[in-house]
Amino acid sequence: MAKVRHSRFDCSPGCSVEVAIGLIDGKWKSVILFHLLGGTLRFNEIRRQIPGVTQRMLTNQLRELEQDGLVDRKVYAQVPPKVEYSLSPLGRSMEPVLLALKTWGDANIGLYGKPDALRQADVKAA
């Protein structure tokens, strides 16, 4: 995959923000990380906790998180496959970010998480 999203070191002050956001962007990564805050989960456990994510997407996102060193992937060589995902120390260090995101979301979900009808009205009004 070899994504090189943050190759620069020119870094005006906002650059570190860019680095951080670069690791948790994508529709699902932050949500996956958030669920992993609660402890180790298996592939399908994560899948069930995030309705709407497809297998392929979940695989992709987990692989990227693994490559970026945020999650650990532990494969048990069993016959019904078993793979456990957990936060690496680096991933756990994301906790403040994740919690800030959650807090903000909880406070403001009324504005954006509404059923489509309202969202549409909002769009039209703009």
Nearest residue to 92 via CA among 65, 53, 55: 65
Q: Binder to its own copies among 20, 74, 76, 121 (CB under 8 A)?
A: 20
Q: Binder to DNA among 40, 55, 67, 103 (CB under 7 A)?
A: 55
Give the orientation angle of helix 29-37 with respect to helix 95-112, to 10 degrees.
Answer: 120
CB of 27 to DNA, least distance (A): 3
Q: Binder to DNA among 16, 40, 59, 108 (CB under 7 A)?
A: 59
Helix and strand totals (H; E) in the chain: 7, 3
Q: Is 24 helix (H, G, I), strand (E, B) or coil?
A: helix
69 is a site residue for its own copies (CB under 8 A) = yes
53 is a site residue for DNA (CB under 7 A) = yes
